[in-house]
Structure 1
Amino acid sequence: MEYVGRVPAPPLDRFIDDIYCLTGVPGHRRMVVPPMPSAHLVINLGEPARLWDSDPSVPPEVVSDGWFVGLWTRRFLYEYPTRVRLVGVHFKPWGMAAFVDMPATDLRDRWVPVDAVWQGSVDRIRNRVGETTSAAETLRILEEELRSRLVEAPSRGLDLVQHVGGWLETSHGAIPVGALSDAAGVSSTTLATQFKAHVGVTPKKVARIYRFAQLIRSVDALRPVDWSELALMAGYFDQAHFSKEFKDFTGHTPTEYLALRRRMPAEREFPPDDGPMPAS
């Protein structure tokens, strides 16, 4: 598949890591997506896809138009169609709150149809994109839609979450939560309340996800991996806790995960995100 992405211009870049087009035939159709520090918007321009929650009580879903995906705290499985054509957004963990008038807790660990949140936007984007539009033009149309949806004056709470979230992002979740609230000049209770309102989870959980993402991105599947060293570098000081969280987030032990990555390597020039992995 071909992935064409870019960081949008300010002020969208405060809330978005990148916007992208994804087209072509997938090398691996079923992908396990562990918790990663992002929320998503996907506009499907091709055949339907399928989504499975790792919670067996949640029924699978066929998605054909577009969907928002809030921050996930557990893994889910995504199945591409035989041929992919979609345009999407990787929001920062707090980024969706600047575009969506919906409680972040209602989007956590969920996928929600776009038209349930932005009425009429899927058809409008599809009609403008058409069948022959270039990736650059498709991204321009998507960025224009995002600008029209951006709140003019983010709340003070969102400004606080964005500021503190930036520290978590640059430190890969290594800053203790107590130090975050002290540096921000607010109580830990206030900080947790604002994170739940704008991200859907506490800053402690966001830090855990950033820490895990840093560990995954540090894995070089072509070389021997010292998991103890990687875990320590990523801020895991309890080996038992690291092993349990790794299994919870990926469905595999570290050894199983490495074997899978070696057997099914990521596609070249795919997004700079080594979290999603082929389902075995």
Structure 2
Amino acid sequence: MEYIAQVPASPLDRFIDDIYCLTGVPRHRRVTVPPMPSAHLFLHLGDPVRLKDSDSSVPPALFTDGWFMGVWTRRFLVEYPERVRLVGVHFKPWGMSPFIGVPAGELRNLWVPVDAVWRRSIGRIRDRAGDTASAAETLRVVEDELRSRLADSPPRGLDLVRHTGMRLETSYGAIPVGALADDAGVSGNHLATQFKAHVGVTPKRVARIYRFARLIVSVDARLPVDWSDLAQGAGYFDRAHFTREFKDFTGLTPTQYLDLRRRFPARPDFPPDSGPMPAD
């Protein structure tokens, strides 16, 4: 499967890490995705994609066009078709807020059809991208759509969330939330309220996800792995807590995860392999 990505031009890059195309035959049809510090828009231009929540009470979803996905606090499973043609928008945790016109909390741990948020957009994007458009042309179409959807002024409180969220991003969640609030001159409750509105989760939860993401992408299954050293480097000072959170986020123990990665190595030049795990 081919992966082509680009960072959008300003001001979109304040809210979006990259826009990318996935095309071709997937290495793994079924992939488990742990919580990661991002929200997403997926536009599926090929055959349907099936999604399954790790919460067994939630029914699977089948998407023929595309979906918005807020920040997730638990894992889920993606089942790709035999051939993939998909465009993804990788938002920063707070980045979806100025594009969707609804509180980001309403998309937490949810997949929502694109047309439920952006009315009549899928057909327009499909018409412009077409079946034969190159990846570069498709990315340009999606970037134009995003630019047209960006709010003229940031929603109230988003600048605060963006400023403190960027500090969590650059520190991999290591800055105490109390220090973030003090430095911003607001109460911890006010900061949490704004994060829930624009991210969908509290800053403490965002910090946990950044911390886990730093650890999971630092694992090199080709070498011996000292889990205690990795956990401490990522900010886990309680080994039992680290093990519980790892199992909760991935569905695997650290030993099981390492065995999986050694059987199905991640491609170092293929970012979609850096967090998601093969489930087949």
Which consecutive unaligned segments of at least 5 residues does structure 2 have?
none
Distance 1:182 1:93, change over 3 A: same
**Residue of structure 1 in register with 2:98 after alignment:** 98
Alpha-carbon shift at residue 155 of structure 1 (Å)? 2.5
**Residue of structure 2 in register with 1:22 after alignment:** 22
SS at match of 1:36: coil
SS at match of 2:157: helix
Instruction: Decide whether the 8 Å contact of 1:94 with 1:161 is kept in 2.
Output: yes
Question: With structure 1 as the length reference, what TM-score do the two structures score?
Answer: 0.98
**Residue of structure 2 in register with 1:245 after alignment:** 245
Q: Report the count of equivalent residues.
A: 280
When the two chains are superposed, the root-mean-square deviation of aligned CA atoms in Å is 1.0
Counterpart amino acid of residue 134 in structure 2? S
Moved over 3 A (4+): none
Q: Deviations over 1:117-137 (max 9, x none)?
A: 001111100010011111111
Instruction: Decide whether the 8 Å contact of 2:266 with 2:273 is kept in 1.
Output: no
Instruction: Decide whether the 8 Å contact of 1:217 with 1:273 is kept in 2.
Output: no
Mapped to 2, the partners of 1:266 and 1:240 lie a distance apart of 27
2:157 paired with 1:157: yes
Counterpart amino acid of residue 218 in structure 1? S
Mapped to 2, the partners of 1:184 and 1:55 lie a distance apart of 36
Mapped to 2, the partners of 1:198 and 1:246 lie a distance apart of 26
Instruction: Decide whether the 8 Å contact of 1:3 with 1:269 is kept in 2.
Output: no
**Residue of structure 2 in register with 1:180 after alignment:** 180
Mapped to 2, the partners of 1:6 and 1:241 lie a distance apart of 37
Matches within 5 A, 1:224-243: 224-243=224-243
Alpha-carbon shift at residue 104 of structure 1 (Å)? 1.4
**Residue of structure 2 in register with 1:195 after alignment:** 195
2:124 paired with 1:124: yes
Matches within 5 A, 1:16-55: 16-55=16-55
Q: Deviations over 1:147-187 (max 9, x none)?
A: 00000100340000000000000000000111110111111
Matches within 5 A, 1:53-68: 53-68=53-68
SS at match of 1:95: coil
**Residue of structure 1 in register with 2:88 after alignment:** 88
